[in-house]
Amino acid sequence: MADLTLYHASPSRSSIVLWMLEELGQPYDVHLVSFKKGENLKPEYLAINPMGKVPALKHRDVVITEVAAICTYLADEFPEAKLNVPVGDPRRGPYLKWMFFGPSVVETAITDRAFPRKEPAPRATLGYGEFDTVMNVLAQATGAANPYLLGEQFTAADIIIGSQLRWAMMFKLIPERPEFAAYVDRLNARPAAQRAREKDAEYQKLQEGG
């Protein structure tokens, strides 16, 4: 039994952590959680994550939830994978910015666009401001990526932002700007990303057949 266990539904936000674990190179187990069967709302899983959501990650006796928190934790816990920027390095600021920009800004902007309110919320009340600004900021960052957000080093921030962009373009939720497409293509070419997608497809078959 591995020290790391991912509580996973395929495909979902936990697919981001699946990719992170493949990049990490550490042994891990996967515990599938079926939303169709309501397993996410059963007491056994609520004891792991009271929100009834995935992902959740168990590392020995520690449970971490929320995608960005899990990826930040794993990158720092296993620095030999070089997926983090350590404390004391001035690049850690931009690294952390992108780690949390994904779930707190990109995802919320896309969700609000996909499920609009009857009346638009005032810009000042929204952490992301407005959709077009988010897209422009992302286009500038991915266009300048050389080849990754922090230059030559691939980090967990690329996993977070790349996953958001790949998912959103797949479902036509954002414009497929050339900067986005080129950046995501580079990430898709990574062997760990390909392994994660292949495993996710198998997990999805198991869930649907179970």
Task: Count CB atoms within 10 A of the CB of residue 156.
Answer: 27
Each residue's pLDDT tens digit, 147-189: 999 999 999 999 999 999 999 999 999 999 999 999 999 999 9
- What mean pLDDT, rounded, does the chain reach? 96
Find tokens 């928190």 and name the residue.
69
- The whole-angstrom separation of Cα 149 and Cα 161 is 9
Find tokens 């499920």 and name the residue.
115
172 three-state secondary structure: coil
For the chain, the first-to-last Cα distance in angstroms comes to: 23
Q: Which DSSP helix (H) or strand (E) runs through 62?
A: strand 62-65
Each residue's pLDDT tens digit, 103-125: 999 999 999 999 998 888 899 99
